[in-house]
């Protein structure tokens, strides 16, 4: 598991195109309605550069600033050069002034955190659950052969998934 000072977290693991973001868009409002303050760490395979060439933030970073924070009336962005280290992302979210009760993690499907696996058998990808003890359940659109003891959830039922997430959080099973 990751460093214990990090808030409880739950990963959403699946191959690209399975529907992680779609599920999170449905799940987040339900968890917020249940009273949770959420943080989210999203992994991307694409380069991310919020400060455009020629803008002050980019020029300051290129001049040697290790980190640049850009503040606007309704948004704050922190820009820094770093790798794809999930532990750093989670620690950053946990240290936020309004630290979240739960951090949702999209991607990083092999990270050492509890995860919900999303699976669509029609995509032809193997299940991660048989070999991964950190997968708490599989959310699927058609019943696969899941290992004994791994709960199966309907992928299209955000209410059922939210209920499981809230249950895992209450039971202390999330990181």
pLDDT digit string (tens) for 27-71?
Answer: 999 999 999 999 888 766 545 556 678 877 778 777 877 677 777
Output the six-digit token pair for 134.
Answer: 């950190």
CATH 3.40.50.300 spans which residues of the chain?
Answer: 9-43+84-170
pLDDT at position 30 is: 97
pLDDT at position 80 is: 67
Whole-prediction pTM: 0.80
Phi-psi region of 34 (alpha: psi -120 to 50; beta: other; left: phi over 0): alpha
| Rounded percentage of the chain residues whose pLDDT exceeds 90 | 39
The dihedrals phi and psi of 68, each to the nearest 5 degrees, come to: -130, 130
Helix (H, G, I), strand (E, B) or coil at 90: helix
* Nearest partner of 111 among 90, 130, 95, judged by Cα: 90
pLDDT at position 3 is: 47
Q: How confident is the model at residue 4 (pLDDT cuts 50, 70, 90)?
A: very low
CATH fold group of domain 9-43+84-170: Rossmann fold (3.40.50)
Average pLDDT rounded to a whole number, residues 76-80: 69
Query: Which residue would you say has higher pLDDT here, 6 or 48?
Result: 6
């Amino acid at each position: 598991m990751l460093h214990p000072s990090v808030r409880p977290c739950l990963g959403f693991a699946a191959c690209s195109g399975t529907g992680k973001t779609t599920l999170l868009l449905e799940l987040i409002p339900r968890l917020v309605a249940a009273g949770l303050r959420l943080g989210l760490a999203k992994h991307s395979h694409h380069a991310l550069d919020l400060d455009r060439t020629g803008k002050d933030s980019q020029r300051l970073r290129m001049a040697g600033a290790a980190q640049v924070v850009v503040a606007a009336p309704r948004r704050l962005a922190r820009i820094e050069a770093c790798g794809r280290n999930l532990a750093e992302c989670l620690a950053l979210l946990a240290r936020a002034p309004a630290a979240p009760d739960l951090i949702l993690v999209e991607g990083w499907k092999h990270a050492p955190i509890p995860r919900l696996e999303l699976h669509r058998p029609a995509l032809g990808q193997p299940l991660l659950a048989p070999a991964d003890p950190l997968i708490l359940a599989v959310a699927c659109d058609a019943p696969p052969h899941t290992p004994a003891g791994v709960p199966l959830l309907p992928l299209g039922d955000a209410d059922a998934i939210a209920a499981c997430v809230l249950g895992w959080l209450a039971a202390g099973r999330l990181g």
